Each structure stands twice: as C-alpha cells, then as structure tokens.
Chains A and B, each alone.
Chain A
Amino acid sequence: MISGKDTIEEALRKAKAKKVYIEGNFAKILSKSLPNDIKEYLKESKERDIKARRKRLDVTKQVQKQNSELAEASVIKESLVLELKNALDEAEKLRDEAVEDLDVLQKRTQFELIGLIVKVALVIIVGVGITTTLMYTVAMLANKDTTILGNAWSNLFGILLTNSFSIIGTIMGVKYATEKK
C-alpha cells in the first residue's frame, strides 16, 4: 500500500481536477484510508477502468474470433485450391487421353480405308488373274490363238509376283495397326 498520504492526496486531487482517471491495478494498491471525495474519485476510476477493460476484452475476443475464422477460411481455401489443381490436372490428363484417342481413331480409320483399298485391289487382281487363266486354258484346249491371252497372263502373274510381298506386307501392317489401341 502506498502511504505517503499528503503526496497521494495531492496527486489524486490534481488528477481528479484534470479528469485524469487511474487505470489498471494501481487503484488496488492505494491506501483505503483516504478522504471521501478521493474515495469517490477512485471508485469512479475503477468503474471506468472496468468498463474500458470489458469493452476492450469484447473487442479483442471478437478480433480473436475473426482471426481464427480467417485462419479456418484460409485452410479451407488452400484445400479448395489443391482440389481445384488436382481437378485441373485430371482434366488435362483426360484431354490428352482424348486427343490421343482421337489421333488413334483417325489413324485407325485411315488404315482401315487403306486396308479396304488393298483388299479390293487384291480381289480385282486375283479375279482378273483367275479369269485370264481360265480364258487362256480354254483357248489352249480349243486350239485358238493364245498370243494376246498368253502375254496378258504372263504380264499379270509377273505383276502379282513382283508385288505380292508388298501387298502381303501392307495387309499385315494394316491388320496390326487396326488391332492395336
């Protein structure tokens, strides 16, 4: 307890006159045997202090609450950003797969077309070959002139033999390309 009575009383009266109010725990350590007007002043100081502290406490708590809400929101935001990034990565991956699939599909369609063309060509060549062979055989059996048919037949088989490897290779390549994903 502070006890230099005159000094304290004078200081407190001056403070009271200037409307300077004591804050915090200081009022608690002042001597209790003070004149009534000073006691009143101290009581008012204490009430003001309590009011100010209550107000500050409420504001601080509110700020604290807002801070924790902001921290929580920040965590949620971070997790959303991460989720969004993952979704974007997934979407990009799917897009790349779709582009690749489209490319494969286009190539496959092209290969199928080539395969069809080669097959038709093969059927035509084989058909013409069989027809020419039949006509050549009939002409030989009937003792007819076979010069033109013989030339045509030998030319045709010459072409077939020359290109057989490339035709078979093309057919096998097309088959392989269309079977693969």
Chain B
Amino acid sequence: MIQSILLIDDEDLFHLVFEDACSLLDMTLSLEALNSSDEADKLFKKWFDERPSADRPECVFVDLNIIGSSFDGIEMIRKINEDYGNGVVIGIISSSDDVKEIEKAKSVGAQFWIIKSDDIEPRLEEFIKDYQGYVDRTSDFKIYK
C-alpha cells in the first residue's frame, strides 16, 4: 500500500473519483488533492527546505493541463525532479494521449502516464502492481490505457 499520495488536478470532481477509487482499491492511507500547480510548488519548496520532510508524499499524480495555474503538469514534474530533488514516484494522470506530450513528460522524468476515463479503477489496479518497480526505479515508463 502507498503511504501517501498527492494529486494535482484542477477538476474537483476528479478529486472525489480518485479518492473513492483509491479507497476502494485499498491503494493508500493518505491522499491529498490540490487544485493548482502553484500550490503544489509552494508545498514542495517547503518540503525541500525542511528536508527530510515526513509530510512529503510518496507518490504524486499530476494532471497535464492544470487550468488556473502558472505552469502545466510537465513543468511541475520537471520542477519536482530537478529543483526539489525528486525522491517521489511521479507521473501524469490526464485524459490526453498526445504522443508529443507523453514524450515531453518522459523527458522530464515522469515514470508513468495514466489516461483518465470513466473506468479509472482497472488502470489504478495495474499501476499498484507496478508500483514497487517505480519506487526502486527498475520499472520503465509505462502508459496505462
């Protein structure tokens, strides 16, 4: 089970869907959802300054287009990986399956890409199976369709 998850997504309804799906799949003990990448950036900056921080999540799911934020999910991943020292399992959760964006995400260090749909649970189930590989950095980048 993942100890703590951070979801960064502008859609409040998806927060509920994700929270309930995680709970039904016994995926995590703690889930925090944020609406903007700016908020997440502030938190990561804080966690980075107070290293090692117990509040830092174990796994981060970032939406690709975060409406109302200064930067998108790919830039968020780049910041976490490059500016805030990584240390988390991180990837994109988006309804888009644009190959160019997927390649961009991969290049900044995203470990997975989950495509949002009405039926998110099977994808999350598959993700949980691969999770340890992401923690150990032994699993390759994967797209969950």
Contacts and interface: CB of A to CB of B under 8 A. Distances in A.
Interface in B17-37: 17, 20-21, 23-24, 26, 28-30
Contacts of B21: 57
Interface residues of A, number: 16
A24 interface: yes
B23 A24 contact: yes
B16 A60 contact: yes
B54 interface: no
Interface stretch (A48-56, A84-92, A141-149): A48-56
B20 A67 contact: no
Given A61-B118, A65-B118, A25 B17 contact: no
The secondary-structure label for the interface of chain B is: helix
Contact of A50 (B11, B13, B24, B28): B24
Given A25-B28, A57-B20, 20 more contacts: A25-B23, A25-B29, A25-B30, A28-B26, A53-B20, A53-B23, A53-B24, A54-B20, A54-B24, A57-B17, A60-B17, A61-B17, A61-B118, A63-B13, A64-B11, A64-B13, A64-B14, A64-B17, A64-B118, A67-B13
Interface of B: 11, 13-14, 16-17, 20-21, 23-24, 26, 28-30, 118
**Would you list the 10 A-B pairs with minimal beta carbon distance, nearest first?**
A57-B20, A60-B16, A53-B20, A64-B13, A25-B29, A60-B17, A53-B23, A56-B20, A61-B118, A53-B24
Interface of A: 24-25, 28-29, 49-50, 53-54, 56-57, 60-61, 63-65, 67
